Amino acid sequence: MKTKLILATLAVMCLLTQPVRAENSVAAPAAKTDASQFDKIDADKNGKISKEEWLAYQTEVFSKICPDGDSDITRAEWNEYQASKGSAR
């Protein structure tokens, strides 16, 4: 009985650690991207993103998605933006 419990516990522990290993191996390239994205948003380069910097960045992104400037993103504009992001990679 004790052996079965130990084996079951070990099996569960192995299963629980698998996703962590997978996430760690995938996360490394994203960390580089996140750092460069942070640097882009941090306009004054003080190592912090202020609310003003964040809003300015979001306004810039919104303008890229909605180039006609009508303050509304249509589905067509959204789809075009998503497609351009995929081809830019």
Flag whether pLDDT at 23 surpasses 80: no
The string of pLDDT tens digits covering residues 42-80 is: 999 999 999 999 999 999 999 999 999 898 999 999 999
The string of DSSP letters for 36-56 reads HHHHHH-TT-SS---HHHHHH
Q: Who has greater pLDDT, 32 or 21?
A: 32
Report the percent of the chain where pLDDT is more than 70.
Answer: 60
Q: What is the pTM (predicted TM-score) of this model?
A: 0.55
Would you tell me how many other CB atoms lie within 10 Å of the CB of residue 2? 6
